[in-house]
Amino acid sequence: MLVELAAANAAFAVIKEAVEHSGDIMSAGQALFSFFDNEAALQKRLNNKSGSSVNTDLEEFAALEQIRVQKAELERLMTYHGRAGLIDDWRAFQVKAAKRREEEKREAIRAKIKRQQTMVEMFWLTCLAVVLACSVYFGIVVYELFKGR
């Protein structure tokens, strides 16, 4: 959690400095990507964590609050230091990216299920082949035993 928060803070500082020097928020494109990537990583880590303590909950709340404040500041910077309509395009992009990530998750789950189904089918085909081979062998043995009678 602290790694993602530190990386997000560093990216935020780079973005603010770039805006102060150039007046254009898009000059800090890589830092913007880093900030939002680390925000997503922090959110994912907090959503997937198990176990809880009051101290950890307070740290999580403080980290998320800090990210929320920085995100609001970035949106303000996009509004005043970006091109016209940048904030609206950014929000639309975030919606599309979220849908794409969700579809990628669903596709990964479908692929995993398909692999599992294939493995089960291979198992049953192997079992069938073994049973068939044993039946043929048993038939040959019985035939050989009763051939001379």
pLDDT tens-place string over residues 98-111: 899 899 999 999 99
How open is the CA angle 74-64-53, to the nearest 5 degrees?
A: 170
Phi-psi region of 77 (alpha: psi -120 to 50; beta: other; left: phi over 0): alpha
Mean pLDDT confidence for 35-61? 74
Mean pLDDT (the chain) is 85
Tokens representing residue 6 in the block: 């530190």
Do 74 and 33 meet the contact criterion of CB atoms below 8 Å apart? no
For the chain, percent of residues with pLDDT exceeding 90: 30
Question: Using CA atoms, how far apart are residues 58 and 36, in angstroms rounded to an integer?
Answer: 22
